[in-house]
Amino acid sequence: MTVFEALKWASSFLVENGRDENVGEIYLRHLLGMSRSQLLAEQRRSVPQEKWEEFQAGIRRHSIGVPIQHIIGTEEFYGREFVVNEHVLIPRPETEELIYYGLEKMKDLFIDAVAPLQAADVGTGSGAIAVTLKLESRRVPLEMMAVDISSEALAVARENSIKLEADVRFFEGDLLQPLIEEGVKLDILLSNPPYIPLTDRETLSDVVIGHEPELALFGGEDGYDLYRRFMEELPLVIKERFLIGFEVGVGQGETVANLLRATFPDAETEVVHDINGKDRMVFCVRK
């Protein structure tokens, strides 16, 4: 079995089963430890029998809905490889944009910062936001914290922080409660909370609903439950000068922005669109 034949089989099999045919290339690259250019350049290379059998088994698992990230065990995020499993949300490209814009706003707002700033990622899951923000924030020193209600998710986040050598302090608890109890005061908060309305449950792919934690997906009947709770708790932990950034679902931007405006009327709040022109981020800044 050559690389070309393996990819051809996977492509046909995945299309027949209503899956993305490109998954075969992603998985074979992983199994053979090759870059995309190497794989495409070595189409006639033989695939070892044990790798061919593993490849078939993985593709068949994906065809019945198991995310390829769970089969591989990792997902790339902001140029780094994060461990993922069924206990955490698989990091998405939209969240990379939340971090990118967050970093840009941090540089402007805290240009005079000398002492480390207090920053938190609430609902950390895999730790993607916390770890990335800590490692990417070179101009603005951070004391990074991460909160999650799930002990299983925190175990994954801790594994990623150790693996990627990011100094992050972890808290187990519900939303901002652990930080309130510790008396923490934040300069920066970035969060990708659960925001899918329960009414949208039936429209989700079986890859998502069957394998990613519902705790990290759904934000109540209309999707805004966690944002409403944030508005109650944020004034208890946020400093005078602050940056708050939320990821939101498409079409939710103005509603979340209005919640922030009502909570912090003296701050500047804006909806930011992603690379596809969709409202996916809301930032609130008080200078």
Instruction: Give the Cα separation of 139 and 103 in Å (integer).
Output: 9
Ranges of the chain whose pLDDT falls below 70: none
Q: Are 154 and 125 in contact (CB under 8 A)?
A: no
Instruction: Give the Cα separation of 284 and 110 in Å (integer).
Output: 14
User: Residue 245 has what pLDDT?
Assistant: 98
Where in the chain are the domains? 3-64, 88-286
Instruction: Give the Cα separation of 146 and 124 in Å (integer).
Output: 6
Beta-strand (E) ranges in 110-167? 117-122, 142-148
Q: Could you tell me the CATH superfamily of domain 88-286?
A: Vaccinia Virus protein VP39 (3.40.50.150)
**What's the predicted TM-score (pTM) here?**
0.92
User: Residue 202 has what pLDDT?
Assistant: 83
User: Residue 251 has what pLDDT?
Assistant: 95
User: Residue 264 has what pLDDT?
Assistant: 98
Angle between helices 23-32 and 3-16 (to 10 degrees): 140
User: Residue 32 has what pLDDT?
Assistant: 96
Q: Are 211 and 239 in contact (CB under 8 A)?
A: no
User: Residue 162 has what pLDDT?
Assistant: 98
Instruction: Give the Cα separation of 201 and 137 in Å (integer).
Output: 36
Give alpha helix (H) positions in 199-276: 206-209, 225-233, 253-263
